[in-house]
Amino acid sequence: MADHKIKLDPGAAALLDALHGAGYAAYAVGGCVRDSLLGLTPHDWDLCTSALPQQVLDRFGKEQCIPTGLQHGTVTVKYGGKLYETTTFRTEGSYSDGRHPDSVAFVPDVKEDLARRDFTINAMAYSAEEGLIDPFGGQKDLARGLVRAVGVPHQRFTEDALRILRLYRFAARFGFEIDPATGQAARELCAHLDCVSIERITEELTRLLAAPKPGTWMEPAVFAVVLPELFTPENAPRFEAARAIIDTLPEGLPEVSARLAALLLPLGEQGTRKALKQLRCSNALIEEVTTLVREAGLVPEEKTAARAIQARRLLGRLEPDPLRRLLALCAAHRPEQAAAFAALQTAAGRLQAENACCRVGQLAVNGRDLMALGAKPGPGLRGQLEALLEAVITGQLPNERKALLAAVKIELDP
Ligand code: ATP
Ligand code: MG
């Protein structure tokens, strides 16, 4: 990595040029530099500069800028349809609460700004003119696959305990090792996580769980602080099993519900809901995870015909993606039945491709059709539709208007 030329995103390059042209120092910084050096495509480009927030606003004009956090030095600059967080070089004063600096001070030197950042791999800056600015050996740590705190780990985690979760999140994301001194400080100080806002914890926790194989980095001491209910004497042994199971489930944020369900399964449906509410997860996530926990005991049918009916009932209750996650979760928990769950998934896929009728709304008749035949509106009507659905699902009736209406007429007539 001797010649570490980074290919700047065109917008970042243009903004850096503009700041340089106005006489300021300016660099791409943090995650985008790290990801570029790893050969990954950064998802956003953060910039840092010696220009004060007001000077950034003056240089790019009000229309181009969003004053994201002026006191902290951050202006978001719009360029070419993208957003660039542009933050003035700063140091942070003391942390008396374990989460926010008591003050921030703007400084002229990028190295001072890099010193306040959490890990060496996140504490590098880059500009085309000066190349890589790497005062803490971030490049070497990237090459070794190591996450290491900038400065004295104990002090850095005491300042901001959220960094403890970030440590495991970055290690898991890249499959890196944790520097021993940094890991020791993290385990020693994880009780301090209780002073971090729950939203920030949940954000880091979900990102940790979304990593490729997070099991190794799911430090029990950390989870015992964040989700103590998982560590009652009866639940604690299941945490180890959950770590292994989670690694076999698909990665990525959209898939994280299955991994959360695997983790929270010992709590049952009510306990899961309560834990996720305490973590202030979105309602959509809470609903999906509790559904997965509720359904996780699913017993797969072995015979083809029964399996097709089971798949149809499942598609009636669950959307295709959550159903796929449920079947993956069941297979991970009961590998001896993995083939049966895979067959169930195949059956569900086929039904979906055929647009087979699995819900009342997919019947070839609706409530209005039944009322035209003399059915009374109300719960009875719904019951009749459900009876028709049941007959279609079990193959007693085809999902055809004529056949369904005839069957209803017989019921209404006598
Ligand atoms: P990602 O790709 O996950 O967004 P990132 O490195 O950009 O990774 P962010 O959380 O977006 O991570 O933070 C941007 C940068 O700000 C980090 O690279 C790091 O330098 C710094 N940083 C963020 N949070 C902290 C923190 N709690 N303490 C110290 N530095 C931090
Ligand atoms: Mg980022």
> Is position 183 within any domain?
no
Nearest residue to 114 via CA among 139, 89, 93: 89
Ligand nearest to the CA of 117: 1
Cα(55) to centroid(ligand 2), Å: 23
pLDDT in tens, 363-373: 999 999 999 98
Say if residue 47 is in the same domain as residue 75.
Answer: yes
Going by the DSSP 8-state scheme, the letter that residue 84 receives in this structure is E
The count of structural domains within the chain is 4
Predicted confidence at residue 410, as pLDDT, reads 77
Q: Rounded to 5 degrees, what are φ and ψ at 67?
A: -80, 80
166 CA to middle of ligand 1, Å? 8
pLDDT digits (tens, 9 = 90+) for 219-230: 999 999 999 999
Same-domain check for residues 334 and 366 = no
347 and 365 share one domain: no
User: Which protein residue's CA is at the shortest distance from atom 24 of ligand 1?
Assistant: 118
10 CA from centroid of ligand 2 (Å): 18
pLDDT in tens, 347-402: 999 999 999 999 999 999 999 999 998 888 888 899 999 999 999 999 999 999 99
* Predicted local confidence at residue 31, as pLDDT: 98
Residue 219 sits at φ, ψ, to 5 deg, of: -65, 120
Pairing of strands 82-88, 125-127: unpaired
Residue 162 lies in a domain: no
Task: Pick the atom of ligand 1 nearest to 43's CA.
Answer: 2
Query: Can you give the CATH number for the domain in which 129 is found?
Result: 3.30.460.10
- 3-class secondary-structure state, position 372: helix
β-strands 82-88, 46-49 pairing: parallel
How is the beta sheet containing 65-69 ordered, strand by strand?
65-69, 74-79, 82-88, 46-49, 26-29, 125-127, 131-133
- Residues 64, 17, single domain; the answer is yes
Instruction: Give 314 Cα–ligand 2 centroid separation in angstroms.
Output: 38
Residue 15 lies in a domain: yes
User: Domain check: are 280 and 384 in the same one?
Assistant: no
d(CA 351, CA 406): 25
Q: Are residues 311 and 289 in the same domain?
A: no
For residue 4, tell me if it sits in a domain.
Answer: no
pLDDT 10s digits, 82-123 = 999 999 999 987 777 777 787 889 999 999 999 999 999 999
Q: What is the four-CA torsion angle of 99, 89, 156, 196, rounded to 10 degrees? A: 20
- The CA 84 to ligand 2 mean position distance, Å, reads 11
8 A C-beta contact, residue 192 and residue 98:
yes
pTM of the model: 0.92
Check if the beta carbon of residue 4 is closer than 8 Å to that of residue 132.
Answer: yes
Closest CA to ligand 1's atom 27 = 163
> Are residues 399 and 310 both part of a single domain?
no
Q: How far apart are CA 247 and CA 213, in angstroms?
A: 5
Judge if 204 and 330 occupy the same domain.
Answer: no
Centre of ligand 1 to C-alpha 12, Å, is 17
Ligand 1 binding site (Cβ under 6 Å of any ligand atom):
30-31, 43, 46, 117-118, 122-123, 160, 162-163
Q: How many CA atoms lie within 13 A of 109 on its CB side?
A: 5
Structural domain range at position 71: 10-144
**355 Cβ partners below 8 Å, 6+ apart?**
362
CA-nearest residue for atom 3, ligand 1, is 31
* Nearest ligand (C-alpha, residue 95): 1
Q: What does DSSP say about strands 74-79 and 82-88: parallel, antiparallel, or unpaired? A: antiparallel
Tokens 């009374």, located at residue: 376
> Does residue 414 register a pLDDT over 70?
no
Expressed in angstroms and rounded, the spacing between residue 161 Cα and the centre of ligand 1 is 14
Give the mutation target among 46, 95, 118 for probing the ligand 1 site: most ligand atoms within 8 A of CB.
118
Pocket probe for ligand 1: among 72, 122, 141, 160, the residue whose CB has the most ligand atoms within 8 Å is 122
**Could you say which ligand is closest to the alpha carbon of residue 30?**
1
Ligand nearest to the CA of 83: 2
- Ligand 1: centre distance to CA 282 (Å): 23
CA–CA separation, 295 and 256 (whole Å): 17
Query: Ligand 2 centre and the CA of 31: distance in Å?
Result: 6
Count how many Cα atoms sit within 13 Å of the Cα of residue 331 in the half-sphere of its side chain: 18
Q: Is residue 165 situated within a structural domain?
A: no
Residues 97 and 132 in one domain: yes
In a mutational test of the pocket of ligand 1, which residue from 100, 117, 150, 170 has the highest number of ligand atoms less than 8 Å from its CB? 117
| Contact criterion met (CB below 8 Å) for 125 and 38 | no
Nearest CA to ligand 1 atom 8: 31
Residue 202 shares a structural domain with residue 263:
yes
Ligand closest to 31 (CA) is 1
- CATH of residue 387's domain is 1.10.246.80
Residue ranges with CB less than 5 Å from ion ligand 2: 31
- For 207-246, the pLDDT digits (tens) are 999 999 999 999 999 999 999 999 999 999 999 999 999 9
Under 8 Å between Cβ of 12 and 26: no
pLDDT tens string 145-204:
999 999 999 999 999 999 999 999 999 999 999 999 999 999 999 999 998 999 999 999
Between CA 67 and CA 108 the distance in angstroms is 21
Report whether pLDDT(2) > 80.
no
**Residues 135 and 113 occupy one common structural domain:** yes
Please report the atom of ligand 1 found closest to the CA of residue 162.
27
Rounded to the nearest integer, the mean pLDDT of the chain is 95
Residues 288 and 313 in one domain: no
Say how many residues make up the chain: 414
**Is the per-residue pLDDT at 411 higher than 80?**
no
> Is residue 151 assigned to a domain?
no
3-class DSSP assignment, residue 406:
helix
